Structure 1
């Protein structure tokens, strides 16, 4: 039995999260906006995802676009080497 288009979006968090991401970086079609609105009306998990996604995107944007207090801060070469050794050891364990 074929599912109706309504059921496909109401019970499809994967598509909803795709539309949430797409909305953050561009525009949605009218159909996509409606589908997302219908899904979010009944899915509290995806509503939480919307807010989390907004916060994460803002943090990443700020990380790469705003002046950082730590500009000019560099790690000691010995510290970098120790970190690299630890990373390699962990990779070899797995």
Structure 2
């Protein structure tokens, strides 16, 4: 297994962006052993990302439960809402 240098550990410990990416990746697929270690190191010192992970897991579980229920086929967005949302997306895309 590759050894981590001290500066690599420091980069991981203070990289919330990478930690949140790994938290989300872990929920939809598998992460490598190195990624697991990086995430564990980060979470050991970052209470904000620990809370993010708990909340993200809770939200994902709630959405899975919602869409696995028999009533999930009845969940639909209102047509006017979809049109307004599409217009907002297009406006933002055109501004960049």
Query: Shared fold by TM > 0.5?
Result: yes
Whether 1:22 aligns to 2:9 is no
Tell me how far 1:70 sits from its aligned partner: 9.1
C-alpha displacement of 1:69: 8.3
Deviation track 1:31-76 (CA, whole Å, cap 9, x = no partner) reads 00000000000000000011100111011112222122894x99xx
Q: If each structure's helix is expressed as a fraction of its own residues, which one has the higher value? A: 2
Q: Which sections of structure 1, spanning at least 5 residues, go unmatched?
A: 75-79
Q: Does the alignment pair 1:45 with 2:54?
A: no
5+ long unaligned stretches in structure 2: 1-5, 89-96
Give the 3 Å change call, closer, same or farther, for CA 70–31 of structure 1 in structure 2.
Answer: closer
CA distance in structure 2 between the aligned counterparts of 1:69 and 1:22, rounded to whole angstroms: 25
- The runs of 4+ residues in structure 1 deviating greater than 6 Å are none
**TM-score (norm. length: structure 1):** 0.69
